[in-house]
Structure 1
Amino acid sequence: MFLSLARKTGFYGGIGFLTLFAILPVLWAFLTIFKTSGDLYSIGISPFFFDEPPTLSNLVFLFTRTNFPTFLWNSAIVGVCVVAITLLLAVPAAFALARLTGRWGEHSGMAIFLVYLIPPSLLFIPMYQIVVWLGVANSIWSLVIVLPTITIPFCTWLLLGFFRSVPRTLDEAALLDGCGQFTAFRKVVLPQVYPGIGACAVFAFSLSLGNYIYAATFINASAARNISAGVPTELIRGDVFYWPELMAATLVVAIPLAIAYGLFFNYLVGGFKNAT
Structure 2
Amino acid sequence: MLRKIGFYCGIGFLTLFSIVPLLWALITVFKRNSDMYSVGTVPFFYNEPPTLEHVVFLFTESNFGLFLQNSAIVGIFVVLITMILSIPAAFSLARLTGSWGERSGMAIFLVYLIPPSLLFIPMYQIVVWLGIANTIWSLVIVLPTITVPFCTWLLLGFFRSVPRSLDEAAMLDGCGQFTTFYRVLLPQVWPGVGACAVFAFSLSLGNYIYAATFITRSAARTLSAGVPTELIRGDVFFWPELMAATLVVAIPLAIVYGLFFNYLVGGFKNAT
TM-score range, shorter chain: over 0.9
Q: Does 1:217 align with 2:209?
A: no
1:170-198 deviation per Cα after TM superposition (whole angstroms, max 9, x unaligned): 11111111112111111100000000000
Alignment-derived partner of residue 260 in structure 1? 256
Matches of 1:180 and 1:99 in 2, distance apart?
13
How does 1:38-187 map onto structure 2 within 5 Å? 38-100=34-96, 102-187=98-183
1:30-82 deviation per Cα after TM superposition (whole angstroms, max 9, x unaligned): 01000000010111222210000000000000000000000000000000000
Matches of 1:32 and 1:154 in 2, distance apart?
36
1:213-255 deviation per Cα after TM superposition (whole angstroms, max 9, x unaligned): 0000000000000000000000000000000000000010000
Matches of 2:235 and 2:79 in 1, distance apart?
36
Please state how far the C-alpha of 1:100 moved relative to its aligned partner.
4.3
Matches of 1:194 and 1:66 in 2, distance apart?
39
CA RMSD of aligned residues (A): 0.8
Please state how far the C-alpha of 1:106 moved relative to its aligned partner.
3.5
Query: Structure 2: which 5+ runs fail to align?
Result: none
Give TM-score scaled by structure 2 length.
Answer: 0.98
Amino acid at match of 2:159: F
Alignment-derived partner of residue 270 in structure 2? 274
Matches of 1:89 and 1:103 in 2, distance apart?
21
What is the aligned counterpart of 1:200 among 196, 200, 205? 196
Matches of 2:24 and 2:9 in 1, distance apart?
22
1:120-155 deviation per Cα after TM superposition (whole angstroms, max 9, x unaligned): 000000000000011100000000000000000000
Matches of 2:169 and 2:42 in 1, distance apart?
66
Indicate the larger mover: 175-184 or 61-70. 175-184
Number of residue pairs matched? 272
Q: Does 1:15 align with 2:25?
A: no
Amino acid at match of 2:122: P
Matches of 2:91 and 2:99 in 1, distance apart?
16
Q: The residue matched to 2:189 in structure 1 has which SS?
A: helix
Give TM-score scaled by structure 1 length.
Answer: 0.97
Structure 1 runs (4+) deviating above 6 angstroms are none
What is the aligned counterpart of 1:25 among 3, 10, 21? 21
Please state how far the C-alpha of 1:103 moved relative to its aligned partner.
4.7
Matches of 1:199 and 1:47 in 2, distance apart?
38
Q: The residue matched to 1:137 in structure 2 has which SS?
A: coil
Please state how far the C-alpha of 1:105 moved relative to its aligned partner.
2.4
Please state how far the C-alpha of 1:110 moved relative to its aligned partner.
0.5
Alignment-derived partner of residue 190 in structure 1? 186
Amino acid at match of 2:25: A
Q: The residue matched to 1:99 in structure 2 has which SS?
A: helix
